[in-house]
Structures are given as structure tokens and as C-alpha cells.
Amino acid sequence: MIPLGAGQSRRRLAAEAWRFRFQVEREAHLRFGRLAGRLAGIGASGALQALALRASEDEFRHATRCAERCLLEGGTTTGLVSPGAPEIAASALSPRQRVLYEVMAACCVTESGSMGVLSALLGAARGRGLRRVLRELAADEVGHARLGWAVLAAERGGEDVRVLGPFLPAMLAGNAGPGLYAPGTNPAEDDEALLEHGVLPRAQRRAVFEDTLEAVVFPGLEACGVSAVAGRAWLANQRAALAGT
């Protein structure tokens, strides 16, 4: 078998990344659509419900953009399973707490993380077409994160958000995915030239993830009365495990 050249290898990694994002955006479209109804069920304001519906529409458009980038990199979006929005909240929680769990995980953690990645990419990528897509996604994702912070702020200090602190490690692990702190490296994933394809090299992805947690997510949660102690311990363990490999 003829080994892939560096350029081909980058394009393949980029196509995989945009294909993955395509699927994530389709799932987010479904999750926000369902969340709008759930927010109504816990008495959230009509404005917050409308923001969730708007987010669902945004994510559908984002999926199209991601598919376009995937195709540009020579990839395909065929062969994926139908998107779903699996339940993520612990079943031991009350129905209201489960909605707040979903908001905290999907908006405060995941959407804040997306903003960190998009901001870093916008600081590095030069291609006009790519920058246009990154700007469009970033303009929307910041609103999706704010939705979560607004919902949690309205519950500030209440028991229904206080119970969520111990679940933060599970949310962070889900957000980091299996690869971010996995031992061993694929040198192709550390290629700085990936930035021009809209992909952060792995070390940068870790740095952005950690910066976002420490500068945005942990203090934001604490301001809403959710302890970040378990989340900070989880992060310290990931770092220690990686340093020891």
C-alpha cells in the first residue's frame, strides 16, 4: 500500500472531523428542538423557549455547512446512522433536575467548548471560505451557550442546580471524548497545517478545552451555585494521567 502524503493525510483527517461535526450538529438540532418543550415544562420563560427553538434551526444550518466542508476535503457524509438525541441525564434525578442537567451539559459545557474551539480556529485560519463558515458558527454558538447560562442563572443557588455538581465529570468526559487525553499520539493529529482545514491540532485542542473550563465553565457554574470541585478534580486527574504516560 502506498503511504499517504502529508497533504492527503491532512485532508483525510479534516474530512473526518467535519463529518463528525455534521453528525454532532444534526444531533444538536434534535436536542434543542426537544429542549424547547422541556424548558416550557419547567416554567422557563417564553424568551428562553424561543432561544432553544432558534438554536435548533441554527444547528440544522450548521450541519449543512459542516457537510459542505467535509465534501470540500474529499470526504462523504453518507453511511452515518440516523441522528438521535440520547438521554444524558442521570435517571436518579427528578424530571426538573434532568432538564437542568441537559441544559448544563449541552449548553454550558458543550457550547462553551465549541466557542473556545471556534475562537482559536478564527485566530489562526486564513482561508476566506473557511473563515466565513467559522464566523457563522461562532456567532450562533455563543447564543446557545448564553441560553444555558441564562437558564442556570434563573435557578441560581437552588437545590435543583446544586445537585448537579457531582455530575460535572461525566459531562466533561462526554465532551472531551475518548481521544483527547488518550495516551500515545498520531503525529498527523499534531500537524499545525490542520488549522487551515478548520481543525485544531490535538495539543491545541486540549489547551483550548482546559482554558475554556478554567476561564468560563468552572467560574460560570460556581456563580450559579453549582460546585465545580468534582470537575476540577477530574481535569487534574486527566492532566496527571497524561503527564505520566
Shortest gap between Cβ of 137 and Fe ion (angstroms)? 6
Shortest gap between Cβ of 185 and Fe ion (angstroms)? 28
The binder of Fe ion chosen from 73, 102, 141, 160 (CB under 5 A): 141
DSSP 56-105: HHHHHHHHHHHHHHHHHTT---TTPPPP-----S-TTS-HHHHHHHHHII
Q: Does 19 sit near Fe ion (CB under 5 A)?
A: no
Q: Which residue do the cell numbers 455530575 mark?
A: 167
Complex with Fe ion: residue 102 or 111, whichever CB lies closer = 111
Among the listed ranges 85-93, 101-109, 135-143, 207-215, the one in contact with Fe ion (CB under 5 A) is 135-143
Complex with Fe ion: residue 102 or 141, whichever CB lies closer = 141
The binder of Fe ion chosen from 11, 19, 29, 144 (CB under 5 A): 144
The binder of Fe ion chosen from 26, 38, 62, 98 (CB under 5 A): 62
Shortest gap between Cβ of 138 and Fe ion (angstroms)? 10
Among the listed ranges 80-88, 110-118, 147-155, 225-233, the one in contact with Fe ion (CB under 5 A) is 110-118
C-alpha cell at 211: 482554558
Complex with Fe ion: residue 118 or 195, whichever CB lies closer = 118
Buried b (16+ CB within 10 A) or exposed e, 184-204: eeeeebebeebbebbbbbbeb
C-alpha cell at 94: 427528578
3-state DSSP helix/strand/coil percent for the chain, to nearest 5? 75, 0, 25
C-alpha cell at 74: 474529499
Contact between 231 and 218 (Cβ < 8 Å) = yes
Count residues binding Fe ion (CB under 5 A): 6
Q: Which residue do the cell numbers 499534531 mark?
A: 190
Q: Which residues make up the interface to Fe ion (CB under 5 A)?
A: 25, 59, 62, 111, 141, 144
